[in-house]
Structure 1
Amino acid sequence: MKTTKSPIHNSVNTMFVPVSDLQTSAKWYSDLLGQEFNPSEVEEPVYNMKIDHYTGVLLDSGPPDEKQKVTPSAHPLFNFHTDDIDASYQYIKELEYSITSNITRFEDLSFFTIKDPDGNIIMICTG
């Protein structure tokens, strides 16, 4: 089988999260990640989250001057990593965010899921 070098990088660059209210979602995700939130930095139709590593998170409210209707997936879109699943679970409870599953623990992995303001399911995960 002939292999060709692809011009496409073997890495994920940015995840797009569909949202209906950019201000609300930008604040929600900022609070989730313990980031400072400045509403004046949020400009329709997208907000690029400040992420520490290569893969970014872009909140996308759709075409300007049109409220996007979001149909959330029944499955997690992606996960945010944590080294302490119990502290993360407690933090989410303190934020009063919607927790959609209790902590599931395996030998080398633990996780739980939450919903963002549009019902998108996000996993918080170790391992």
Structure 2
Amino acid sequence: MKSPVQNKVNTIFIHVTDLKESVKWYCQLLGQDYDITTVERPVYNLLVNQEVGITLDAGPSGKKRINTSEHPLFNFHTDNIDQAYTYLEQLHYDIASEIVRFDDFAFFTVRDLDQNVIMICTG
């Protein structure tokens, strides 16, 4: 039988405890405008310019318990790693690692408000 599961990622869920604060954090990270009055539980879909969606998920009610990994599960792309690093420093984001450079790419990690580790990377 051919698998009915497609070889394609549809949506990445980022589990958060405070939806409004997380919307603000991620929208600033990505340089997106947002209207905080339109943010309602349980989820907020970030604007993306590709097929894979990103959903901030706070759950239906109350505080959500989150078990984070010390390793990133995905990355956001940048063409300029140094500018990205400086931008996040200026936002006073929790930068988890310094820039690591290789011949053909570079990356660093940042923690969101719930300690989810996000990689920022070239290449």
Alignment TM-score, normalising by the size of structure 1: 0.93
Q: Is 1:45 aligned to 2:42, yes or no?
A: yes
- Count of residues in correspondence between the two structures: 123
Q: Which runs of 4+ in 1 moved over 4 A?
A: none
Secondary structure, aligned partner of 2:37: helix
Q: Deviations over 1:38-74 (max 9, x none)?
A: 1012110100110111111100002x22210112111
Which residue of structure 1 lines up, in the alignment, with residue 85 of structure 2?
89
Q: Indicate the percent of aligned positions where both proteins have the same amino acid.
A: 53
Matched to 1:120, the amino acid is N
Which residue of structure 1 lines up, in the alignment, with residue 68 of structure 2?
72
Q: Is 1:16 aligned to 2:5, yes or no?
A: no
Instruction: Supply the RMSD in Å over aligned alpha carbons.
Output: 1.0
Alignment TM-score, normalising by the size of structure 2: 0.96
Which residue of structure 1 lines up, in the alignment, with residue 22 of structure 2?
25
* Structure 2 unaligned regions, length at least 5: none
Q: Deviations over 1:74-111 (max 9, x none)?
A: 11121000010011001101111000100000011100
* Structure 1 unaligned regions, length at least 5: none
Looking at structure 2, the residues matched to 81 and 101 of structure 1 have their Cα atoms a distance apart, in angstroms, of 16
Looking at structure 1, the residues matched to 44 and 101 of structure 2 have their Cα atoms a distance apart, in angstroms, of 33
